[in-house]
Amino acid sequence: MKRFATGAMSFGSISHEAHSTLAIAMNRIGGKSNTGEGGEDEMRYEVMENGDSMRSAIKQIASARFGVTSNYLTNADELQIKMAQGAKPGEGGQLPGHKVDEWIAKTRHSTPGVGLISPPPHHDIYSIEDLAQLIFDLKNANRAARINVKLVSKAGVGTIAAGVAKAHADVILIAGYDGGTGASPISSIKHAGLPWELGLAEAHQTLVRNKLRSRVVLQADGQMKTGRDLVIAALMGAEEWGVATAALVAGGCIMMRKCHLNTCPVGVATQDPELRKLFSGKPEHIVNLFRFLAEDMREIMAELGFRTIQEMVGRVQFLRVKDNIQSWKAKKVDLSGILHPVTNQKGLTLYNSESQDHGMAEIIDWKLLEVAQQALADKTPVFATFDVKNIDRTIGTLLSNEISKKYGSVGLPDNTINFKFKGSAGQSFGAFAAKGISFELEGEANDYVGKGLSGAQLAIYPAANSTFTPENNIIIGNVAMYGATSGELFARGMAGERFAVRNSGATAVVEGVGDHGCEYMTGGRALILGKTGRNFAAGMSGGLAWIYDEDHTFAENCNPEMVDLDPLSPKDEEQILTLLKKHANLTQSEVAKRLSSTWDAAKLDFVKVFPKEYKRVLQEKEYQAVSK
């Protein structure tokens, strides 16, 4: 049963009752349920009185990074990077504001009533090397979990799968077009994607030919409903399977295909409290489904003469094309490509038989962990200084994993672990860094600084012997603060492109940013003390950004579709002055000192970027409070 997984279904797609029922059922049989991209409420980590658990073993990391914190990643057996979705490959998603209730807003670190956008791409993945970095980040965030990369069936997926295996993924999932959420656009469901059989066959054959198949587990999903489907998938190369639609139907779904309307009549795909009361599914129903699937599969295996799954993986010679096909069109389909047998290389297997080397032995975090033992044991503050080089990647993430294991999302008291670094940090400095960590970097950092920041404080400033003007030079790379949920970043200098993309709760102060700043942001605050690149605030639905617009050109670079440009309020001024003071104190920023000392004049050059929908919700709350 451990080879079974349910597909990715988030709270935005289905109700808490339906989601928890699926999770309980999968945990009972030793399989895995998938959170989907919507995060997971921490109450589900607690074991119930009867021994059941609502915890989803697979935590998904999708493009929006909703609710992806250090604690979320820690409470997983498998971490799945969703590169795309079988039912709508290459597309993002959107959760309408009317479906974002208090519960969803809590798990996604957003505002109730404000719509949420899932970008089409992961903004930290533009090459196979970037994917390898995210895999490494996640392995640091939970070294006990398998790292799964979800791909969709498409022409050329074999080459992609080979790259993913070389990037050290533990599991590769090939998703077919036939599955996916009922809220997908009908044009996508009918006209995008390919059957899982095509992608699975190509991926398996390519991995075998490149001597990579034994390194990874190969999964497949996409409307698998019978033991026969599972056997065919195994013979074509998959040793694990995902079953989603059938599991939902067993739990009560009647396939109304109105998930996006919030009007599901059986309480499966709705956040309406009255409709949710109609949900009648039970874990036992789903457990029975998987038992019958396993029994059906076992009977077919016996007929074919196989005793174990490993024996049958990739044995396509046991499949043949039907010889009584009547359709003139189907008769002409050539299946020889997907039914072509490949033989294993000497000493290798057609299934996963070896572990990936994630390169964890030499990381700097082992040194950090050693120094931080007293802080982890009894919250005693610790202080230390380390030299870093650009090969030191993902600094602080493994340390944060240890904090989350012991203290959960509460973390440690602020400034418990105080580490200073000198030099050029590699990628993902402070990624998923937990509360209680205070990192100071004298030097510079590469891409992904503060990715998934989870409560830590990061301060970055140039080396004491540097001769350049900080505010005119890049000090941190691209995609800093991507998916951050809490914590603070203070950077004396400029950031690269896509700064604070999908920030949902962290505070950042930086002295200039490249293109696409604060894209898809849903919460938190960003104080930009310099110029911005083009397309600022595209898709920004929440949070606030304050821009020091000295030459009054910011409006030309801002994407006005979802935001208003407003003057500062007294409350804004108070917050900005507090941040300027802290920025100057932590980084010795001359810009912050100058603006603080000339505030009465400087404040006239600030612009407040205020998302329209977020403003409306706040005004409604304020009106309701006054009315009471």
Tokens of 5: 């997984």
- pLDDT for the residue 83: 93
- Mean pLDDT across 581-607: 97
Say how far apart CA 285 and CA 304 lie, in whole Å: 29
Percent of the chain with pLDDT over 70: 98
- pLDDT for the residue 100: 86
Question: In this structure, which CATH number among 3.20.20.70, 3.40.30.10, 3.30.413.10, 3.40.1280.10 belongs to the domain 4-331?
Answer: 3.20.20.70
- Mean pLDDT across 350-355: 95
Say how far apart CA 142 and CA 82 lie, in whole Å: 17
Length of the chain: 628
The residue ranking higher by pLDDT, 624 or 166, is: 166
Per residue, what are the HEC states of 72-94? HHHCCCEEEEECCCCCCCCCCEE
Per residue, what are the HEC states of 561-612? CCEEEECCCHHHHHHHHHHHHHHHHHHCCHHHHHHHHCHHHHHHHEEEEEEH
Say how far apart CA 519 and CA 92 lie, in whole Å: 14
**CA nearest to 522, candidates 567, 562, 556, 487:** 562
Give yes or no for residue 10 having a pLDDT over 80: no
Give yes or no for residue 12 having a pLDDT over 70: no
Residues of the chain with CATH 3.20.20.70: 4-331
Residues of the chain with CATH 2.160.20.60: 492-628
**CA nearest to 12, candidates 245, 217, 269, 214:** 269
Say how far residue 302 (Cα) sits from the centre of its chain.
40
Classify domain 492-628 by CATH number. 2.160.20.60
The mean of the pLDDT values for the chain is: 94
Q: What is the pLDDT of residues 123-171, one digit of tens each?
A: 999 999 999 999 999 999 999 999 999 999 999 999 999 999 999 999 9
Percent of the chain with pLDDT over 90: 83
The residue ranking higher by pLDDT, 435 or 345, is: 435
Say how far residue 478 (Cα) sits from the centre of its chain.
18
Q: What is the CA radius of gyration of the chain?
A: 25
| Listed range (93-97, 124-128, 407-411, 544-548) with the worst mean pLDDT | 93-97
Contact 464, 483 (CB under 8 A): no
* Four-CA torsion 595, 598, 601, 602, nearest 10 degrees: 0
**CA nearest to 511, candidates 585, 451, 461, 554:** 461
Say how far apart CA 182 and CA 77 lie, in whole Å: 27
Cα distances (angstroms) measured from residue 582 to each of 440, 460, 462, 471: 13, 13, 17, 17
Tokens of 149: 């990369």
